[in-house]
Amino acid sequence: MLMNSPAPQATVAWYIGHLGFRLSGTMCVGDRGEVMWFVRCNTFHHGFGIVRGPHAAFHHASFGMRGIGEFMCGTGRMRRLGIERLWGPGRHRAGDNAFSYFLDRAGSTVDYTTELEIVDEGIWHPHIFGLRDPANADRWGTADELDGFIAATSHNDVDPGLFTAPPV
């Protein structure tokens, strides 16, 4: 899962300092600097990510498939059902995982993924991936190019307050 944050460095530091997460890598965009941080609490490259965004919000949820065959069948099923495809299928360089992003009926981004990289804790060091190199977003080159629409769609709106907790 990834979350948006207007203060991403402080958010990342909180997860590292209070929950013991470890930084796996960051993504940057030229002179705009870092825009995405991947952190982990086990040997998978990342289980959580923080994205620089205009406000705190959900970015996307990832659903892990058991292999590339299941991933492609799931991706094909979503497309046949007419679920709006946002991006993919492709393969990220950070995490080395396959991805297919779709929009659910509420407009939130969901991701089918598989084959997330396993890191060797003894030798791992955080990597920096520049998004100006399209192969860092999709090393297969099979997804549409990452563009402003895809990024803006995942920023999501501020919670409109649809849920109000009952009085205690």
Q: Quick check: 121 and 41 in contact, CB under 8 A?
A: no
pLDDT, mean of residues 14-33? 96
**In-domain check, residue 165:** no
pLDDT digits (tens, 9 = 90+) for 32-76: 899 999 999 999 999 999 999 999 999 999 999 999 999 999 999
pTM, whole model, 2 decimals? 0.91
**What's the domain range around 142?**
2-153
Which tops the pLDDT comparison, 106 or 128? 128
> Considering its fold, how many domains does the chain have in total?
1
pLDDT digits (tens, 9 = 90+) for 122-154: 999 999 999 999 999 999 999 998 888 888 888
167 DSSP 8-state letter: P
What CATH number is associated with residue 10? 3.10.180.10
Taking CA 19 as the corner, what is the angle to CA 15 and CA 20, rounded to the nearest 5 degrees? Answer: 95
**How far is Cα 10 from Cα 26, in angstroms, rounded to an integer?**
14
**In-domain check, residue 82:** yes
Please, which pLDDT band fits residue 10 given cuts at 50, 70 and 90? very high
Task: Compute how many other C-beta atoms are within 10 angstroms of the C-beta atom of residue 42.
Answer: 12
For residue 106, pLDDT beyond 90: no
**How far is Cα 45 from Cα 96, in angstroms, rounded to an integer?**
9
For residue 86, pLDDT beyond 80: yes
Q: How far is CA 33 from the centre of its chain?
A: 18
CA-based R_g, the chain, Å: 16
